[in-house]
Amino acid sequence: MTLSLLSVSIAISMAIPTAGAAATLQGVARAKDGDSLMVGQTEVRLFGLDAPEFDQTCKRGATSWACGAEAADRLSRLVTGKDVRCNSLGRDQHNRTLGRCTVGSTDINRIMVATGYAVAYRHYSTDYVSAEETTKVNKRGIWSGTFKMPSDYRHYDPLPVRSKPQRQPYERRPEGGRGVTPALSRVCAIKGNQGTHGWIYHVPGMPYYMQTRAEQVFCSEADARAAGYRRAKVR
């Protein structure tokens, strides 16, 4: 199959899957968070594991660290800009493709658990339980301290009701590109608005991003957090 160099490639098996067979997605990928990625325009939720939410923190002794952001960074290093192959196992309740993914001979799902940046999602699969047990013994990643299970974190909202964050000016790029500062040269596509649990933001590619009405626009997640927003939780 010849794929256009002007677009992100996706190769999808044209054969109708029979019992026990799986459709295949293949193409250049980028990470969304610690357990989901985009293969072309298709969002894939890594099957059999659960990573800390992007805004989740863990502890090593008395010190907190951004384990959710670190998990996303680990997955990004594994897949971003690389040719990823995912065997589709169906769809989850959010209509995302469930998949087992590899880069070459590297099993992405397993390595995320084996390095301690995701847990085995026992509710759905026991495929990575042995990898998790080894990781716990060796105290890698999140197992080097204490943490809340991602599934428990998603169902717990510790944030109190807060007043609306102070609105910041919308940043536009000057005509002709002259005088563009580093902040203005970024793509301002992060949408902030008031959600059920407070002031949250959505980044491109997240569920409901297209339906979200932006009450404030940001150029980076750091800008959004500095203004009092938090990342929308993807369940």
The SS3 of residue 77 is helix
Tokens standing for residue 164: 């609306």
Strands 198-202 and 230-231: parallel
Q: Parse the chain into domains and list their residue ranges.
A: 10-154, 175-231
Strands 36-39 and 42-46: antiparallel
Tokens standing for residue 213: 């009405």
The separation between CA 60 and the C-alpha centre of its own chain, rounded to angstroms, equals: 23
Residue found under tokens 């204490």: 146
pLDDT in tens, the chain (235 residues): 444 333 333 343 323 333 344 589 999 999 999 999 999 989 999 999 999 998 899 999 999 999 999 999 999 999 998 999 999 999 988 889 999 999 999 999 999 999 999 999 998 999 999 999 999 999 999 999 999 999 998 876 554 444 445 444 434 334 444 333 333 334 578 888 776 667 888 888 777 777 777 777 778 887 778 777 888 876 6
Query: Which residues are 203's β-sheet partners?
Result: none
Query: Which residues are 84's β-sheet partners?
Result: 27
Q: What are phi and psi of 201, to 5 degrees?
A: -130, 155
**pLDDT at position 224:** 79
How far is residue 160's CA from residue 154's CA, in Å, rounded to a whole number?
A: 16
**pLDDT at position 6:** 31
**pLDDT at position 13:** 35
| Residue 132 DSSP code | H
**pLDDT at position 219:** 81
Q: How many residues does the chain have?
A: 235
**pLDDT at position 4:** 38
Q: Which fold has domain 10-154?
A: OB fold (Dihydrolipoamide Acetyltransferase, E2P) (2.40.50)
